[in-house]
Structure 1
Amino acid sequence: MCCCFQKMEYVIKKVLEKNLLNDDQPSVELFDVDYLNGRLDSLLEAFPEPFFEHAMAVKANPLRCVMGIARDRGLGAECASLQEAKHALSLGFAAAKVVYDSPVKTVKELREAIDLGFHTNLDNELEIQQVADYLKEYQGELPVIGLRINPVVGAGDIAMMSTAAKQSKFGLPLLEDTQDRIGKIFKDNSWLTGVHIHVGSQGVPVDKFVAGCERLFQFVEYLEALVPGQIKTVDIGGGLSTSYTEDKEPEEFTYQLYRTYLQERVPMIFSGKYRIVTEFGRSLFLKAGTSLTRVQSVKEWIEDQNPIILTHLGTNQFPREVYLPHIWRHRFSLYTADGDKKEGNEINVDIGGPLCFQGDYLAKEVLLSHPTAGDILAVHDTGAYTMSMYCRFNSILASGIYGYKKINGEIELECFKPRETFEECMQFWGFNKPNQIN
């Protein structure tokens, strides 16, 4: 299923044939639809039971065409803001399959989420009280309302991607001396019918995901004794890691292997007693994406220093990679202006982006065939957490985005999103003149 260089060479030639990479659009995003469908196949085959509901993490890739593929395969949508939740609703996701997980919600947002029928996971005691107050006047069928708990199974290799350390900002920490206090919250609020965890994502070993589920279901058993039958939905989160340095998904993070571990250590998940929700994102989308950018120029002035290639992608689309290069690093390959893969004569280069500050390097010490102006740089594994993190600094227009798939043996391109226009960019910066407030 990997997007090999040979296939990518053919896709790039299609992009050039359609004149999609040019001075008006010097960078484009490509999304492999067949690859995504393969990942969805893998997930659904690993967890085929009807009581499993898989919600794609919208924050990983909010493109409407991509979300539509997930919707059509029966997935729900895990949303980190009310805007994401309403985005999913507007695309035809069933409200009950929209999981609203924001850690910071206003009273108005909480009420609107309930009114719209979203599966809402609450974060803290104040939100619980605010919902309880609203339910005193609420008329209608109540959707799933859950509480996020932190199973406190520890952090992975990347602290900022780990949400189950003791000091996590998410949910209520489940410790020996807090369990009864959390249990009382469920006992006092019989409308709380769900419980939720999310251990983290990239850099978190599979064992921590399994340990989080194990601790979660120990708590569910505790709740069954305290409030029998109240819990109907258990959201085990998502976050399985993938690889930015290999062209294939890591064997240790396959969905089937994850299921095997869960069956061994948390068999209660598969009892059918509960609706089980998952929230996968990066592991579904990452390797479906490739970013292309023209090499605008090459600087080779300083002896014994790496040449600097200047491109149209940097912090504008890859803020994590620029600011934390020791953690986030993609694979790169270089193609000629005609789309042929460049090989041999490799040197270390530094890849500079288009933004106006010295730190705007997509990566340094990248081994590439000797680059020249007009070459095409491919940044691999960009299908998650790149375009969704787009930065407005310097008002660089966001790239056009194109899906591709094989039809009758031929690669076909389709536009998911045209390049941002100047007018769309300017809308972000407000009015030409101040509007008077009455």
Structure 2
Amino acid sequence: MDSIYNTILHEYALINDSTPSIDLFDLNYFNSRIDSLKSVFPQGGNSPFTHTFAVKANPIRGVLLAVKKQGLGAECASISEVLLALSLDFEPSKVIYDSPCKTREDIRIALDTGVVMNLDNEWEMEMVDEALATDGSDLDIDSLSIGLRINPLVGGGNIDILNTSTKASKFGLPLREDTEEKILNLYQKYKWLNGIHIHVGSQGVPLNLFVDATKKLMDFVNKVEDRRGGKVLKTVDIGGGLSTSYVLEDKEPEEFTYSLYKQELEKSAPELFDNKRRVITEFGRSLALKAGKTLTRVHFIKDWIPEIRPIIQTNVGVNQFIRETYLPKVWTHRITLLDSKGNLKSKQEDQGVTYDIAGPLCFQGDYLKSRVHLPKAEKGDVLVLHDTGAYCMSMYSRYNSIIPSVVYGIEVLPNGELSIECFKEKE
């Protein structure tokens, strides 16, 4: 990346007085992650898999166009994300609408556009049934893909706010011995209900919980199909959520590789691979996280009180790194330091300074990170926050009305040239 930083900061001067911070999205890395997923879980042909990208991870249009170019679909957590995906010409059959809180208007749009829709609860099923009874005369009912999200209750990982398969989860209908018959009856009641969906969590959830959830899902699928006289469900959505690493530089942790995930699924839920049903995945963070980097200028350094760590003041803070600011023990990013021309600064032996890095907001808690040991920083240097391709750009806050960073897609072409494309202009 050294030559890329030099081109961006020195040759093109993309960070300047009017643009003190930018986001970069590495298309080479992103495409390599998608290629890795598709090589392990092929799409099309004799494979049942349809891969979708979790739009909430990074909704930047240039990123989504790269997703579409790779043949993936779009997993959408809101009707606005659905409309964004459709505006970019994603095939409706590859747009998955998973909001846990849909209005009648949301459901009408989903039905009219023909996207795949996963319902969260019995009230949403009632709304769909009403819509089909009153406004569905022009719809081909058999062409619809409508699933129900169940909560397999396999437990959670080490980040409570991301655990979606505990008894206290707000998502889906809990599947256990005393609720199983009720859920089976819903599949009997609503003949148009032809899919099923799980998503057990995200970062911090161990692989075995994803596998256990899928096994429980497929066991229940067999019961649904038996109850329906052998009629096979159209879609089985196993969600996404595989963890990645905020510590390792360029590779994923061995315990969360796609190949290991497939091996464990083949052992525990072989019916998933029998090609009888369309199988949907919804990966986000594991594809995009390490494709992103945030570059922000060292605005100044405040160092007045000897017993207080010097404070680097910079132009990005809690406005873009919400989780990192409020939950610093859970969320953190690697940070490196460049000079103004893009050259990596390195610590000499026994040298370097421990800093606190503060953002620009009018809020004392606005710190990107505390106790960061870096080479000696100077005004005009550039901080690089690594692994910001997912759940950073998408979580931007308007607090203090600070303008969000410009986003550039970067790609090293086969001839070695660097392509820089503006994915999101300055507002």
TM normalised by structure 2 equals 0.95
Query: Which residues in structure 2 correspond to 1:61-140 (within 5 Å)?
Result: 61-137=58-134, 138-139=136-137, 140=139
Could you report, residue by residue, the CA deviation over 1:385-437 in whole angstroms, capped at 9, with x for unpaired residues? 011000001111111111111121232212111112xxxxxxxxxxxxxxxxx
Bigger drift between 135-144 and 286-295 goes to 135-144
Could you report, residue by residue, the CA deviation over 1:46-103 in whole angstroms, capped at 9, with x for unpaired residues? 1015220001000001011110111111111000000000100010100111000000
What is the CA–CA distance in structure 2 between the aligned matches of 1:110 and 1:189, rounded to whole Å?
A: 16
* Correspondence for 1:410 among 408, 417, 422: 417
Structure 1 residue ranges, 4+ long, deviating more than 4 angstroms after superposition:
none
**Matched positions, count:** 413
Residue 171 (structure 1) shift = 0.4
Bigger drift between 27-36 and 341-350 goes to 341-350
* Correspondence for 2:287 among 251, 273, 284: 284
Instruction: Note if contact 1:190-1:230 (Cα within 8 Å) is conserved in structure 2.
Output: no
1:12 alignment partner AA: Y
* Correspondence for 1:241 among 240, 243, 258: 243
Could you report, residue by residue, the CA deviation over 1:273-306 in whole angstroms, capped at 9, with x for unpaired residues? 1100000000000000000000001111122322
Give the match's secondary structure for 2:404: coil
Q: Does 1:307 align with 2:310?
A: yes
- Aligned partner of 2:156 in structure 1 is 155
TM normalised by structure 1 equals 0.93
Give the match's secondary structure for 1:269: helix
* Correspondence for 1:335 among 324, 335, 338: 338
- Aligned partner of 1:195 in structure 2 is 196
Instruction: Note if contact 2:356-2:370 (Cα within 8 Å) is conserved in structure 1.
Output: yes
Residue 230 (structure 1) shift = 4.6
Instruction: Note if contact 2:43-2:51 (Cα within 8 Å) is conserved in structure 1.
Output: no
**Runs of 5+ in structure 2 lacking a partner?**
none
* Correspondence for 1:268 among 264, 271, 285: 271
What is the CA–CA distance in structure 2 between the aligned matches of 1:26 and 1:272, rounded to whole Å?
A: 51
- Aligned partner of 1:213 in structure 2 is 214
- Aligned partner of 2:322 in structure 1 is 319
1:18 alignment partner AA: Y
- Aligned partner of 1:10 in structure 2 is 3
- Aligned partner of 1:364 in structure 2 is 370
**Runs of 5+ in structure 1 lacking a partner?**
1-6, 421-438
Bigger drift between 130-139 and 67-76 goes to 130-139
Instruction: Note if contact 1:295-1:375 (Cα within 8 Å) is conserved in structure 2.
Output: yes
Q: Does 1:387 align with 2:388?
A: no
What is the CA–CA distance in structure 2 between the aligned matches of 1:385 and 1:411, rounded to whole Å?
A: 26
What is the CA–CA distance in structure 1 between the aligned matches of 2:273 and 2:248, rounded to whole Å?
A: 32
Query: Which residues in structure 2 correspond to 1:167-186 (within 5 Å)?
Result: 167-186=168-187
What is the CA–CA distance in structure 2 between the aligned matches of 1:377 and 1:300, rounded to whole Å?
A: 18
Could you report, residue by residue, the CA deviation over 1:299-346 in whole angstroms, capped at 9, with x for unpaired residues? 111223221100011111000000000000000000111211111122
Instruction: Note if contact 2:232-2:276 (Cα within 8 Å) is conserved in structure 1.
Output: no
What is the CA–CA distance in structure 1 between the aligned matches of 2:307 and 2:177, rounded to whole Å?
A: 59
* Correspondence for 1:259 among 262, 269, 273: 262
- Aligned partner of 1:4 in structure 2 is none
Instruction: Note if contact 1:192-1:230 (Cα within 8 Å) is conserved in structure 2.
Output: no
Residue 367 (structure 1) shift = 1.4
What is the CA–CA distance in structure 1 between the aligned matches of 2:352 and 2:145, rounded to whole Å?
A: 56
- Quote the sequence identity (%): 51
Q: Does 1:20 align with 2:18?
A: no
Residue 202 (structure 1) shift = 0.4
What is the CA–CA distance in structure 2 between the aligned matches of 1:289 and 1:99, rounded to whole Å?
A: 24
Instruction: Note if contact 1:163-1:170 (Cα within 8 Å) is conserved in structure 2.
Output: yes
* Correspondence for 2:234 among 225, 232, 235: 232
Give the match's secondary structure for 1:366: strand
Change (3 A) 1:418 1:287: same
Instruction: Note if contact 1:30-1:290 (Cα within 8 Å) is conserved in structure 2.
Output: yes
